[in-house]
Chains A and B, each alone.
Chain A
Amino acid sequence: MTVTGRMDANNSEDFEHACQPYASSGVQYIIVDVAGLEYISSMGLRYIVNVGKKLKDNGGALRLVGVQGFVKQLFTITHLNNHFPMFPDLESATADL
């Protein structure tokens, strides 16, 4: 999955809706390319956490590819970088799956 642009209070719920069918059907891993994500607020983080919880319940995780700039700072300052594995590219994110 690729997420670009902005994740704010007005659109972040769309992310959870897009992931929900997979998480509900037992999918363990969703890999999200956020290299083109320019902005995310606490509301965006909330929905990423929600999806991460469901995947963890399934025995997997939400993996992030291309975390950079402002988005990386936000994950670091909220300590969420400890809960979401980050990879430089899709190949490394899928290497052990």
Chain B
Amino acid sequence: MASDTLRLAASLTHLDEATRFVRSAATAAQFPAPALPFLDLLVEEAFVNIARYAYPPAETGGPVFLTASPLSPGRIRLEFADQGIPFNPLERPAPNFDVDLAEMPPGGLGIHLLRKWTEALDYRRTNGWNHLSLTCSLESVHVSA
């Protein structure tokens, strides 16, 4: 199974393009339709972070490379690479769910969802690039083939 890479500008206007690209790769990797919203969500949570924070001020459209690598039927690795400011989303603390609605902070759910629905989630900073890698499988999103 071959990898494919899409170059995008770091802007929310390109979110749909990123989602379509991954859906196509996931379908080729035999992900059934019920699994696709989970992949949409993983793409959105990762891409929105880059679009909003990697190249301040937000939405200036620096480069993002999105690589989809089917690993086996029902298993795929996605990698986001950008040249923005160093940002490791895995360092963000887990949200505290044991709070009243009034005290619930506005953010933090996205990284929780990335952790919950991937079997591997890795970040590295190499030669001025952020690399965020997500490995997703039917098992990690609890969808049957």
Contacts and interface: CB of A to CB of B under 8 A. Distances in A.
A46 B106 CA distance: 6
Interface residues of B, number: 24
B113 interface: yes
B15 A38 contact: no
Contacts of B16: 10
Interface in A39-74: 39, 41-43, 45-46, 49-50, 52-53, 56-57, 69-70, 73-74
B101 A49 contact: yes
A42 B113 contact: yes
Given A9-B48, A77-B112, 13 more contacts: A41-B45, A41-B48, A42-B45, A42-B107, A43-B44, A49-B106, A50-B106, A52-B101, A70-B34, A70-B37, A74-B41, A77-B113, A77-B116
Contact of A45 (B97, B102, B109): B109
Interface of B: 12-13, 15-16, 34, 37-38, 40-41, 44-45, 48, 97, 101-102, 104, 106-107, 109-110, 112-113, 116, 142
A8 interface: yes
Q: Give the interface centre of A42, A43, A78, A79 by most chain B CB atoms within 10 Å.
A: A42
A82 B99 CA distance: 10
A9 B116 contact: no
Contact of B104 (A41, A49, A73): A49
